[in-house]
Amino acid sequence: MDTKLKNKVAIVTGASKGIGAGIAKALGLSGATVVINYASGKNDADQVVSEIQSKGGKALAVQADMSKSADVRRLFDTAKTEFGSIDILVNNAGLAIFEMIGDLTEEAFHKQFNLNVLGYMLAAQQALKHMDKKGGSIINISSILSTDPYLASSVYSATKGAVDTITLALARELGPNKIRVNSILPGHTNTPATAGNFDGDLGDKLIAGTPLGRFGEPEDIAPLAVFLASDDAHWITGESIRASGGVRGVGY
């Protein structure tokens, strides 16, 4: 096991599967104690905990709806009670509903903004409270859609554009607290949430538009998160970094 993040405590939201799970496992392998947040996938979250523990790491699964302030407070309070400190926050919990503007519903709009944007800000608010003056790292998971939207992704892409703007704003605001804030923009990545989305002609076009010639995997995103969480990135804040295999535009 690596010791890059030894004695650090990390909260990863939406970490029961996909990119969040991949980041949580990588943080655990780098020595961090990891709090695995989930909304409803308890079995999946417990499996991530087991994988980290089986390799000598420490982890705990905690249920919380990140769009609800009371749940977010409970998540951070639990982490503080169990482990005594919080050093790393990975804001990953998110929701994507792809609709053309003619089919847009207020419910879909608010669900996405409440989780993808408000949820990130509620978590950052608690991170400030618990990190206090000792500093830490906040990593916001954005998307290449923040700058290059798919068809029918106007609301989801808007939430990710907001994430990148919030990242810069909070980097400036929290810098005096020694808290660094950066965002990662994954490209076309294989996760349970995207299963089936890349099949057929669309998948062929997306791969053709990806210079490295394949879809990403959570394991491709995780090392960047580990780096940003570590002291190796001590002079990096306010940045939005693409992890997309070289995609520019939507890739087709």
Q: Which residues participate in catalysis according to the annotation?
A: 156
d(CA 123, CA 235): 23
DSSP state of 39: S
Q: Give me the sign of the Cα torsion angle 8, 11, 17, 23.
A: negative
Beta bridge partners of 59: 34
- Compute the distance between CA of residue 227 and CA of residue 211 in angstroms, rounded to an integer: 23
- The arrangement of strands across the sheet holding 88-91 comes to 58-63, 33-38, 9-12, 88-91, 136-141, 179-186, 240-243
Q: How far apart are CA 108 and CA 110, in angstroms?
A: 6
Lookup: tokens for 150: 């798919």
Q: Quote the tokens at residue 21.
A: 């799970």
Q: At what angle do helices 154-174 and 119-131 cross, to 10 degrees?
A: 20
Three-state DSSP state, 193: helix
As a whole number of Å, the CA-based R_g of the chain is 17
